[in-house]
Amino acid sequence: MNPNENLETNREGVKVEPQTFIPPLQPKGLGGWLGFMQINMYFSLAYFSNYFFRSLLPIYAQENWGDLTSPEGDYYNPYAKGVFILESLSTVVLMGLIVVALVLMYRKKAAFPPIMICYFVLTVLFDIGTNMMFQRFLTYEDLSGADKEQYMDTGLLIKRFLFCSAWVAYLIRSKRVKNTFIQ
């Protein structure tokens, strides 16, 4: 077989390589907006860990727990036990989802986008639930001097909803996400 058989002839009669179609480069990898998502995930993991270990776990100390859940306690509220257990569980679930999502992201697994969408939806639902529980069942005194606005701020809920909605839309529509997480 002659190696020159595959060559095309141009206008001047010179044999040249045929031009092949090279598709445009598609965005792929953990750069772009996914870089911001990584920063958000690490920040959220640090925030939830700090919240869990510094704010929620001390509530379960014998003297604090007794004050909140025992009828003889100074800050007794019959709903406190359920509210704080649900708050603790929701925080642990969100931390677990972030850890799982980080592992999936760095392995570039196709399960990463659905896990992150689940995380964002649960974040909004847990925020709404926490807000409703604290407004309905607890008083400012029950929070032991905590920042009441942290639990009662509707503007914060709206910001969180918009933030999560934007990331969910990105995860669903992004070409980079579709090209990166294919395994």
What's the count of helices (H) and strands (E) in the chain, helices before strands?
Answer: 7, 2
Q: What is the pTM of this model?
A: 0.77
Position 1 confidence tier, pLDDT thresholds 50, 70, 90? low
pLDDT in tens, 104-139: 999 999 999 999 999 999 999 998 888 888 777 766
- The DSSP symbol for 1 reads -
Q: Tell me which residue has tokens 């070409």.
A: 175
Question: Per residue, what are the HEC states of 73-118?
Answer: CCCCCCCHHHHHHHHHHHHHHHHHHHHHHHHHHHCCCCCHHHHHHH
Residue ranges per structural domain of the chain = 30-180
pLDDT in tens, 58-78: 989 988 888 888 888 887 878
As a whole number of angstroms, the distance between CA 47 and CA 51 comes to: 6
Position 148 confidence tier, pLDDT thresholds 50, 70, 90? low
Q: Which residues contact 5 (CB under 8 A, 6 or more apart)?
A: none
